[in-house]
Amino acid sequence: MFEVKLDSPHDLVIALAGNPNTGKSTVFNSLTGLKQHTGNWPGKTVTNARGKYRHKGRSFVLVDLPGTYSLFASSVEEEVARDFICFGRPHATVVVLDATCLERNLNLALQVIEITEKVVVCVNLMDEAKRKKIKIDLAGLSVKLGVPVIGTNARDGIGLADLKDAVLKVATGEITVEPMRVEYDRNVEKAVEILEPIVKESVNGKINSRWLSLRLFDGDRSLLKSLDHYLDLGFEPDKKERLSDTLASVRDVINLEDIRTKDRLVESIVNLAEDICAETVTYETKQHNALDRKIDSILTSKAFGIPIMLVLLGMVFWITVEGANVPSAMLARGFNYLEEQLTALFMVWDSPVWLHGILVLGIYKTLAWVVSVMLPPMAIFFPLFTLLEDLGYLPRVAFNLDSFFKRACAHGKQVLTMCMGFGCNAAGIIACRIIDSPRERLIAIITNNFVPCNGRFPTLIAIASIFIAYNMGGFKSIGTVLSVLFVIVLGVFLTLAISGILSKTILKGLPSSFTLELPPYRKPQVGRIIVRSIFDRTLFVLGRAVVVAAPVGAVIWLMANVTIGDLSILNHGASFLDPFARLLGLDGFILMAFILGLPANEIVIPILIMSYMSQGAMLELESFESMRQLFVENGWTWLTAVCTMLFVLNHWPCATTLLTIRKETQSLKWTVISFLVPTVTGVIICYTVAQLAYLLGLV
């Protein structure tokens, strides 16, 4: 499990540990240059990413451990982090601490120091501490801890050279570290004295025996399992017996049955952290967090908390809708012009009609659609959302909405996974790892699709603007934004309702324990966000357009133009689906487009356009206006638009998401359920809305 692949035996393996939300991922990225998405919320890094860097002629492999508050293994993340430090045999471990919250962070540093002496402490976010007038005596801290302490601003790359130097020296043994020893109370120390020699004999120097003895008092079962698993100590029966005999004999000294004994072990470390901080940290102002509290008192207040959340989300969509118009139109014109040139070229070559059809009308047109209509809103929405994430706003959203999730017997952090779902549902599914309880994690996974992803909301925006808000004149973009916002609120409502139903039926259970850190607000790195997300998003969407949209474009063109009898394959399919689709307020082509759009939600509308266009005369799709015309000619009413938008929100997850669910749950059953739940919900909702509208004679 912990085989770290090395290019050469001289490579040095460095573990990177730290509390969630300390900028650990930023340190990782700055050191390795690897593009790992970093965010400002607790527990984001859930697997251990690896990256490489070179310093002074040596190669380093950096292993990013999950962000944890402790190593006492009360969650999977903590177990992974502890096991890597214990058994992964890193040449050094870097512990990243948040300078603005040093005391709580030191707890973890002290726990790491107890396990291994090869530690470098990195006090990150020094600029934030300075802004809050918190002074940290780094040299004093280093003397106290007995290991190198380096102050950094990883975001600006400050201090990283020093950090690399210190890591090199500690890893190669160039400087000897003498880490401080955490002292426990007299009885515990006495018991350790008795137990340690026996332990030492058993583990053969493969692991710190003092630390292991302390953990034996803890009765940490997961550690004993890991010991057997990684060290292959071959605990012979006699050794085991001696060990348990000794353990029994220390009972005279400390009462292992008493829950307070274990508490005291933790308390000693926490108190030590407090003492160290008292001597090394000075607050020049008592109110160093006053601004954060003030912002919180507005953003999470009873009166404004939820309204502000909706307004912020609405603003993000408004900027997206307004901002995307111009580049979309420009791209569309450019693509149209290019298409004319391409067509002319095909005419000159006198190439067969089918070749022009597949390449230009199929592949090119689909690509052009995805790029011109989907890309601009994505490229605007994504950085805006990342901005909110970087500011530290998302944990506040989780805080505001938690009580609803508690009522649905689900986990408050589900909100964070939903936020990730806005970007991409597959990413949302992976983010569900931040939820410890397997039951609540499954609920979050199954319901993640009720958040429309980046590939779906441009579709919502397009349909809303050409049907729902079409006649609103000057209020068109407001109308569009409100309709999309309504769909999203509906999605959140459905998430809660379905989570509640799941909790009462196939995933019965009570809410597990819930703690959520509200990290300090941070100054976002605006420039970097914009450059990175536009660049990353653009590449991602373009890549996906080529890999997914282009082949599907070719297939659709063929389906629309190869005829069996006197109907095209597409027509056969659509007319087969039509009666059922009509019940849902859709038509056969729309349902067909959703089915063929399984590989990626971005391509549902281009498929639909192509299907409609293959029916009648070709028309140039230069604007939303001509798209509206095309749809109306094909019998769309406001009801079709509403039902299509509802079906966009509620249908099966895309192929990538399904594969991710399969991987994350390791279960076909839950993958199938994740497919069925949103699909059945969508069918029921569309059916109800359509039938009600027919019944009331609204259409």
Partner 1 sequence: MKEKLIPLHMLSPGSFGRVTQLTARDNSRRRMLDLGFINNTIVEALQKSPSGDPTAYQVRGAVIALRSEEASNILVECFS
Which positions lie near partner 1, rule CB under 8 A? 69-70, 72, 74-75, 100-104, 107, 259, 263, 266-267, 270-271, 274, 289, 292-293, 296-297, 300-302, 305-306, 399-400, 402-404, 406, 412, 511, 513-520
Dist. CA 213–CA 232, nearest whole Å: 18
Residue 141 CB, nearest approach to partner 1 (Å): 15
CA distances for 236 relative to 200, 203, 233, 241, 690, angstroms: 15, 12, 8, 9, 71
CA 518 to chain centre: 17
In the complex, the smallest distance separating the C-beta of residue 89 from partner 1, rounded to whole angstroms, is 25
Residue 3 CB, shortest distance to partner 1, in Å, is: 30
SS (H, E, C) 306-322: HHHHHHHHHHHHHHHHH
Q: Of 75 and 626, which CB lies nearer to partner 1 in the complex structure? A: 75
Quick one: 412 or 606, whose CB is closer to partner 1? 412
Minimum separation from the CB atom of position 98 to partner 1 (A): 9
Smallest distance from the beta carbon of 664 to partner 1, in angstroms?
22
Q: What is the dihedral of CA 595, 596, 597, 598, to 10 degrees?
A: 70
**Residue 642: Cβ within 10 Å count:** 21
CA atoms within 13 A on the CB side of 302: 0
Contact between 646 and 689 under an 8 Å Cβ cutoff? The reply is: yes
* Residue nearer to partner 1 on the CB measure, 78 or 602: 78
Which of these, 141, 142, 4, 106, lies nearest to 65 by C-alpha position? 4
- For partner 1, the closer CB: 158 or 270: 270
Cβ-based nearer residue to partner 1, 74 or 637: 74
**Using CA atoms, how far apart are residues 416 and 418, in angstroms rounded to an integer?**
5
Alpha carbon distance, N-terminus to C-terminus of the chain: 61
Closest CB to partner 1 among residues 288, 572: 288
Closer CB to partner 1, residue 301 or residue 691?
Answer: 301
Helix (H) or strand (E) holding 59: strand 58-64
Contact 182, 269 (CB under 8 A): yes
* Beta carbon nearer to partner 1, 54 or 302: 302
Please tell me the distance from the alpha carbon of residue 503 to that of residue 519, in angstroms, as a whole number.
30
Minimal distance in Å, beta carbon 270 to partner 1? Answer: 5
Q: Which is nearer to partner 1, 69 or 631 (CB)?
A: 69
Q: How far is the CB of 182 from partner 1 (least distance, A)?
A: 15
Helix (H) / strand (E) element for 625: namely helix 624-633
| Strand, coil or helix: 424 | coil
Least separation in angstroms between CB 302 and partner 1: 5
CB 288 within 8 A of CB 132: yes
Residue 434 CB, shortest distance to partner 1, in Å, is: 14
